[in-house]
Each structure stands twice: as structure tokens, then as C-alpha cells.
């Protein structure tokens, strides 16, 4: 008599999660929300090029499945990713889904967007793309960050954040530093509490600015000077992609 493998109770949940993301419209909603902000259902519908009724149906499934949360203000319905764990899952799945050669852009606008996202973007609440990788590499080279046994700030790294006046909250259950696989660079960039704090500081201090209404960001002239001063990053290296 043949042996039967015991049924794993996690299997139905994994299948349900995979089914939620196995739709291009729902996947595009999740990728758009990686900018860490709340979008209205109408904005997500226009971004994905679908009718509001279609968007509403898909968004309902994502909320019910726990990938998104929603908040209603008046007649508007705002949606965001449920938390940082979901953002990490979406970003890393996107990285694994990238083939050796990227799909060629179909329009000039799509090409411009791809290049902007590759140069720099927010991944939920931290910096990603070439910008995020350059910062991560520079922090490692300057002894502020270790990557040999997972991501960890060094004592010098803690002092570096303090010297720049960037607070690192200690009450969060999130790790102080962790690697997040970058879907365009195919390497990990800095995430966790320190990654979020650095991203917030970069935007608040004017080191970076958002490009358009999506999640693409770029270093400003002031940011290029600051990154060169504090991390030795050459401005030309931030656009080399």
C-alpha cells in the first residue's frame, strides 16, 4: 500500500495567497502601493488602465486576503499595503519574477518610467533601485553596515545615524537592519528600521525628491552633495543605468 504524504495545513493558505497575486491587475496594484502611500481606488484603476468597477472587485479580494488595508474618508476609499512584511513579499517576488532580459517597453512613457524606477524608487518605506544599492554599498565600504552574516549596523553605523540627527526608534518590533532583494539590481538593499529612517530623512531634508506621482525618486543636487560628503558616493554613479 502506497504511503500518503500528510496534508500540510499551510498549503491552502499558500495557494490562496498565490491566487491573489496571479492576476496582472492585482499585481499592478500591489506594485504601485510599494511607494508606501495610500492611493484611492480611482487612482489605482487609472494607473492599471481598468474600469473603476473592475478595480473595486480586485481591490476587495486583496483586502479580504490581507494584502491591503483600506480606509474610507468621505466618498473616497484609500488603500495601502497591509504592512512592511507584505511590501517585502511583493518586492522579492518581483525580483524573482524578472527574467534574464527585461520585457522591452512598449511606449516612450513606459520606457521613461522603467528607467526612473531603476535609478531610484521607494520600496514601501526605504530606498531601492540604483540609489538604494549605491547607498547600501557605500555604507558597507565605510564600515557602517555589515552584510557578511545578514544585515547589521555596526557601532560606527549607529554613531553615523546619530551624527546626522536621524533617530532610530527602539520600540519597533522590526529589525534595525535587514536586506531586501532589489528587483531591478537583483541584489539586496538596506531595509528595516534604519532603512526607513534614512529614506524619511532623505525626503524630509531634500536629499531626494519624488518623480511624478509614483514611487520613483531621484537625488537632488543637495542630496548629491550630501551623499558625496557623508558616504563618498560620486554623483555620476547614481545615474549609471
In the chain, CATH 1.10.10.10 covers: 13-82
pLDDT of residue 66: 94
pLDDT band at 101 (very low <50, low <70, confident <90, very high): very low
What pLDDT is attached to residue 88? 82
Predicted model pTM:
0.75
Give the per-residue pLDDT at 221.
96
Task: Spell out the residues 6+ positions from residue 78 whose beta carbon is closer than 8 angstroms to its own.
Answer: 38, 39, 40, 70, 71, 72
Report the alpha-carbon distance of residue 7 to residue 40 in Å, rounded.
40
| Three cell numbers written together for 3 | 504511503
Percent of all residues in the chain with a pLDDT value above 90, rounded to a whole number: 55
DSSP character string of 171-184: S-SS-SSEEEE-TT
DSSP codes, 109-129: HHHHHHHHHHH-EEETTEEEH
pLDDT tens per residue across span 8-59: 778 888 899 899 999 999 999 998 898 888 899 999 999 889 999 999 999 9
* Of 159 and 115, the one with more pLDDT: 159
Which CATH fold would you assign to the domain 13-82? Arc Repressor Mutant, subunit A (1.10.10)
Mean per-residue pLDDT for 202-220? 90
Mean pLDDT of 220-228: 96
Give pLDDT, residue 34: 86
Q: Do the beta carbons of residue 201 and residue 207 sit within 8 Å?
A: yes
The radius of gyration of the chain's CA atoms, rounded to the nearest angstrom, is 19
Burial (CB < 10 A; 0-12, 13-18, 19+), residue 230, is: middle
What are the backbone angles phi and psi of residue 83, rounded to the nearest 5°?
-170, 180
Q: How many whole angstroms separate alpha carbon 142 and alpha carbon 137?
A: 9
Quick count: other Cβ atoms within 10 Å of Cβ 137?
Answer: 18
> 137 with 155: CB under 8 angstroms?
no
Look at residue 76 and tell me whether its pLDDT is greater than 90.
Answer: no
pLDDT of residue 205: 96
Q: How far apart are CA 191 and CA 193, in angstroms?
A: 7
Percent of the chain with pLDDT over 70: 88
Amino acid at each position: 500500500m502506497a504511503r500518503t504524504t500528510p496534508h500540510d495545513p499551510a498549503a491552502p493558505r499558500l495557494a490562496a495567497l498565490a491566487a491573489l497575486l496571479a492576476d496582472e491587475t492585482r499585481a499592478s496594484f500591489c506594485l504601485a502601493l510599494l511607494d508606501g502611500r495610500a492611493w484611492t481606488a480611482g487612482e489605482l484603476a487609472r494607473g492599471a488602465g481598468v474600469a473603476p468597477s473592475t478595480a473595486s472587485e480586485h481591490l476587495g479580494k486583496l483586502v479580504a486576503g490581507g494584502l491591503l488595508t483600506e480606509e474610507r474618508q468621505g466618498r473616497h476609499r484609500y488603500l495601502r499595503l497591509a504592512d512592511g512584511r507584505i511590501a517585502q513579499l511583493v518586492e522579492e517576488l518581483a525580483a524573482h519574477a524578472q527574467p534574464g532580459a527585461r520585457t522591452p517597453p512598449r511606449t516612450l512613457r513606459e520606457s521613461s518610467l522603467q528607467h526612473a524606477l531603476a535609478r531610484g524608487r521607494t520600496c514601501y518605506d526605504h530606498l531601492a533601485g540604483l540609489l538604494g544599492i549605491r547607498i547600501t554599498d557605500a555604507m558597507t565600504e565605510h564600515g557602517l553596515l555589515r552584510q557578511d552574516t545578514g544585515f547589521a549596523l555596526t557601532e560606527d553605523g549607529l554613531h553615523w545615524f546619530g551624527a546626522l540627527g536621524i533617530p532610530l526608534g527602539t520600540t519597533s518590533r522590526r529589525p534595525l537592519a535587514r536586506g531586501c532583494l532589489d528587483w531591478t539590481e537583483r541584489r539586496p538593499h538596506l531595509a528595516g528600521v534604519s532603512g526607513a529612517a534614512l529614506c524619511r530623512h532623505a525626503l524630509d531634508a531634500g536629499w531626494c525628491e519624488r518623480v511624478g506621482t509614483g514611487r520613483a525618486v531621484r537625488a537632488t543636487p543637495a542630496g548629491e552633495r550630501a551623499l558625496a560628503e557623508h558616504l563618498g558616493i560620486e554623483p555620476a554613479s547614481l545615474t549609471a543605468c
